[in-house]
Chain A
Amino acid sequence: MNFPILSSLILLPTIGALFILFTKSSSRKYQSSKYVALFISLANFLLSLYLWYVFDKNSVDFQFVENREWLSGFINYKVGIDGISILFVILTTFITPICIISVNATITNRLKDFLIAILIMETFMIGVFCSLDLVVFYLFFEAGLIPMFLIIGIWGGERRVYSAFKFFLYTLLGSVLMLVAIISIYWITGTTDVEKLYELGINAEYQNLLWLAFFSSFAVKTPMWPVHTWLPDAHVEAPTVGSVLLAAILLKMAGYGFIRFSLGLFPIASENFTMLVYILSLIAIIYTSLVALMQEDMKKLIAYSSVAHMGFVTLGIFTMTQQGIEGSIFQMISHGLVSAALFLSVGVVYERHHTRLINKYGGLVSIMPRYAIVFMVFTLGALGLPGTTGFIGEFLILMGAFEKNILVAMIASLGVILGAAYMLWLFKRVVFGEINNQELKSMKDLKTFEIITLSALVIPILFFGFYPEPLMNSIEASVENTLNMYNFDLINNLASKD
């Protein structure tokens, strides 16, 4: 067996966290802990880039597979990646150092604990995207609740307790049904190994119920309408870095789960429930966009926009077309970057002015010109202007949707317009206009570390917006393979019925 590169990726942050735990923290604002955390997360990022470099983009198989006996006799610890998961792994390792750099601004107490929580969180998030066994997946998927609960609850805003509980219980409730489904799959097929399950397939009579059980978990996590209500609360109360992690990565677990498990394991059920997903996605797109228009709190507005964007993602996945799924993956990566950037931008002004209410701001362009520029890029990215990553994702999804169902595609297109409306209006109210609030004049423009983090996000948003080829290359083969398997299963099933 070769060097276990995926396990190293998963474990490295935890080792870093243990290291921080056992180092004596001096009173100098925990500088050393922060450097350790930054070093570890950057090392992990470089490792994942190396992984991307050696990754064979033309192969449809899972690569770097590690398979170890774990629960003796029936469940193995199995990890591996394909073209779909590698992007999410890189997104995770990319966002984490940005979070750690941004910690400066928002976290004042118990910084050491916070860094440990973020690093542990990184372990779980990478684990989710790498695991090739349903039980291992569930383990990582659920374990992420613990650090996130603490991040919201300890370092959050006024209503942090309510939000943390809501986040935890909503997600747990969704997930327990998935556990029942996973165990049922074990007894039906005799394995929880994803690769083997792809080969074996699951009997059509069980698929509908199993699909629904998985759906209950992923729908909460995505979040889809009507179980999205935990998200605005969690986002508003979480510290900036918590919101970034939540929006950029946690929400993507569900989208990834839909592609990997719902489509991969239950093709017949996915076909049956397509209309349900379309309808919920459309409601999410239109309804939450309208709700976002009316928000007075910046973070809440972005949170609702996340729901709408994830609506596009689920819509794209269930078009079951090459464009739709590729668009969804692209949209998830793009949303990971853009929403992280938007939350950081809100964090920048919140840290200076201690309010997130939109009407307290205005005219920032003359006080903070640099901020105005980066914020504009992110706004445009969020509304999907050509030249940013947001455009490519939405465009592909709509292309896929038009192929399958014109009505759905037309309604979804309305969402694009609404998205432009709320984002531009937000931008106008915050950045342009008169300076009504005299206190704003004392605000300073971006500090060095803010420039670093925000420009680190601007670059990929613009670069991949103009040149999406590298990302598309890695996902293409895997998506094609997923779709082929999907169609093959469907045809087989039809044939067996006749």
Chain B
Amino acid sequence: MENFQYILPEIFISVSIMLFLLVGVFKKNSANLIYNLSNISLVILLALIINLSSLDTIYLFNESYLIDNLSNYMKIILVGSGIFVMLTGSKYIQVINLNKIEYPILILSSILGMMIMISSNDLIVFYMGLELQSLALYVLASFNRDNLLSTESGLKYFVLSALSSGLLLYGCSLTYGFSESTNFDQILINSTEFNYGTTFGIVFILVGLAFKISAVPFHMWAPDVYQGSPTSVTLFFAILPKIAALSVFIKFLYTPFANMNDQWQTIIVFISIASMIFGAVAAIGQKNLKRLIAYSSISHMGYALAGLATVSNQGIQSSITYISIYLVMNLAFFSCLFMLKRNDKYYENIEDLSGLSKKHPILSFSLLIVLFSLAGIPPLAGFFAKFYVFLAVIEQSMYFLAIVGLLATVVAAFYYLRIIKIIYFDPEKEEYETSHNLGLKITLAISTIFILAYFIYPSGITEIVSKITMI
């Protein structure tokens, strides 16, 4: 029984979800109340996780649940960004009439699912977490049910995601069949010899995970879902599932399949290169900002995976640093998107940014910083994210990956520059509303300052991340 203290965060969030559901059902017009309560419960959750993070590695429930440095760090950035996602989106969902009790509850359930995914040390526990988060995400994607695009994106996400979950399950069962266990550590011990069964298992599992992280060639859902979903949900999609999927990636590659890196390394390198190039090239023609950021996130995931392909602790750490900086950049970008509001209508096309700098100098400056950072131009945070990854990649003498990746940044720089050009060089349009809620302003301020001032003390994240060792 004493083990339960270690999963206090998970228990707390589950109880909160059920409680909020009850409150929502019995109390009328409680959407705002629940939204705020959910936010508070996320803050408490964050405190609980941080409280646990000083502990060493702990195995729970017959070694099927694992709490270690990796899971703690990932959960902290997961819940932390969850709080900011809720803060920034609060006004948005009121304006577009989505402020229903289910919305925060679905977000909380999805976060719970991701926490289980991150901590899982067993194929079955992992799959449970994955499905919990996916089911919540299907509903969230189509939450704006009167909107054709939103329902389309929900359906599309559901069909493709179900397919990938199927492949993933198939991979899991193959792995189980050939290694005689569902426990990650046990699989590692049992799979010392090469056999085709496990190789196929790896391939199927990687396909499923690549889908969740929207890496090429399993990225097709991303642009449509990003565009169709309500913007607050898009922000959620852009950050939280990526964090969870990346940590599961790390887990799978470096625990059960650690002995077979010669099998999966080429796959990861291929996925990584394809994502970097495709994300950069396909974004050039986009007109919708959400769609564009979908392609941009595809290419960013390519860089994060490049770190994983190195089979070194340095590489894993660089990927984790990358995703940490990536989530801040996305928060900043979407905060800017939430500010493009005029007469209760949100604007999301690139053309709507035309000449923004004349009337809204601070907003455009933030966008400028974010976009240059996404493009990876020094001295902004985005550069350091890429720098760490390439440091790890070149350490392993994977020059091809490094050079292709850096050339892709040049291509990607083009479309970021195009947005900057529209903001700064083009003639101005109508003014946008300038009154925004505090949460949005704070998020934008914090994230912009983080990106801008990262170079002053770049060791901060590195030092925390350097505790995470898998090999």
Contacts and interface: CB of A to CB of B under 8 A. Distances in A.
B360 interface: no
Interface string B439-471: 000000000000000010011001100000000
B162 to A, nearest CB: 40
Given A70-B459, A139-B455, A153-B421, A180 B406 contact: yes
Interface stretch (B91-99, B125-133, B395-403): B395-403
Contact of A179 (B361, B399, B406, B459): B406
Contact of A164 (B377, B402, B421): B421
Given A176-B406, A186-B391, A187-B395, 11 more contacts: A139-B378, A143-B377, A146-B377, A149-B417, A153-B421, A164-B425, A165-B414, A168-B413, A179-B390, A183-B402, A184-B394
A interface majority secondary structure: helix
Interface in B358-408: 361, 372, 377-379, 383, 387, 390-391, 394-395, 399, 402-403, 406-407
Contacts of A73: 459
Nearest to B386: A179
Contacts of B377: 142-143, 145-146, 172
B394 A165 contact: no
Contacts of A279: none
A176 B459 contact: no
Contact of B413 (A69, A138, A169, A179): A169
Contacts of B425: 153-154, 160-161, 164
A269 to B, nearest CB: 17
A138 B391 CA distance: 14
6 contacts: A72-B463, A113-B361, A143-B378, A149-B420, A153-B425, A169-B417
A160 B421 CA distance: 10
Contact of A153 (B379, B413, B424, B458): B424
A234 to B, nearest CB: 14
B172 to A, nearest CB: 38
Nearest to A160: B425
Given A72-B462, A154-B425, A172 B410 contact: yes
B409 interface: yes
Contact of B403 (A113, A135, A160, A180): A180
A145 B380 CA distance: 12
Nearest to B375: A172
A145 B459 CA distance: 25
Contacts of B424: 150, 153-154
A71 interface: yes
Interface string A159-199: 01100110011001100110110011011000000000000
A135 B383 CA distance: 11
Contact of B459 (A72, A153, A173): A72
Nearest to A150: B424
Given A72-B459, A160-B425, A177-B403, A172 B413 contact: yes
Contacts of A172: 377, 409-410, 413
Nearest to A71: B458
Which 9 pairs from chain A and chain B are nearest by CB? A72-B459, A176-B406, A139-B378, A183-B394, A142-B378, A173-B410, A153-B425, A143-B379, A143-B378
A69 B399 CA distance: 28
A169 B410 contact: yes
B390 to A, nearest CB: 6
B410 A176 contact: yes
Contacts of B387: 135, 179, 183
Interface in A129-164: 135, 138-139, 142-143, 145-146, 149-150, 153-154, 160-161, 164
Interface in B249-306: none
Given A71-B459, A154-B425, A180-B402, A139 B379 contact: yes
Interface residues of A, number: 33
Contacts of A165: 414, 417, 421
Nearest to A186: B391
Given A139-B378, A143-B377, A160-B425, A70 B458 contact: yes
Interface of A: 69-73, 113, 135, 138-139, 142-143, 145-146, 149-150, 153-154, 160-161, 164-165, 168-169, 172-173, 176-177, 179-180, 183-184, 186-187
B372 A146 contact: yes
Contacts of B414: 165, 169
B413 to A, nearest CB: 6
Nearest to B361: A113
Contact of A183 (B391, B421, B462): B391
A145 B372 CA distance: 10
A139 B420 CA distance: 21
Interface in B11-46: none
Contacts of A179: 387, 390, 406
Nearest to A170: B410
Contacts of A113: 361
Contacts of A145: 377
Nearest to B460: A72
Contacts of B413: 168-169, 172
Contacts of B372: 146
Nearest to A139: B378
B251 to A, nearest CB: 26
B423 to A, nearest CB: 10
A164 B462 CA distance: 35
A160 B406 CA distance: 26
Most buried by A among B378, B403, B414, B455: B378
Nearest to A168: B417
A24 to B, nearest CB: 13
Contacts of A71: 458-459, 462
Contacts of B399: 180, 184
Contacts of B410: 169, 172-173, 176
A142, A146, A153, A160: residue with the most chain B Cβ atoms closer than 10 Å: A146
A380 to B, nearest CB: 38
Nearest to B458: A71
Contacts of A154: 424-425
A185 to B, nearest CB: 10
Contacts of A161: 421, 425
A146 B394 CA distance: 27
A145 B201 CA distance: 47
A139 B384 CA distance: 10
Contacts of A177: 403, 406
A404 B152 CA distance: 72
Contacts of A180: 390, 394, 399, 402-403, 406
Nearest to B384: A71
A161 B419 CA distance: 12
Candidate in A71, A169, A184, A187 with the most chain B CB atoms within 10 angstroms: A71
B381 to A, nearest CB: 12
A184 B455 CA distance: 21
Q: Counting chain A CB atoms within 10 Å of each CB, which of B361, B379, B420 scores highest?
A: B379
A135 B384 CA distance: 11
- Which of B390, B410, B420 has most chain A Cβ within 10 Å? B410
Contacts of B402: 180, 183
B417 A183 contact: no
Contacts of B462: 71-72
Most buried by A among B394, B399, B459: B394
A149 B414 CA distance: 12
A189 B402 CA distance: 19
A180 B463 CA distance: 24
B390 A183 contact: yes
Contacts of A72: 459, 462-463
A73 B395 CA distance: 16
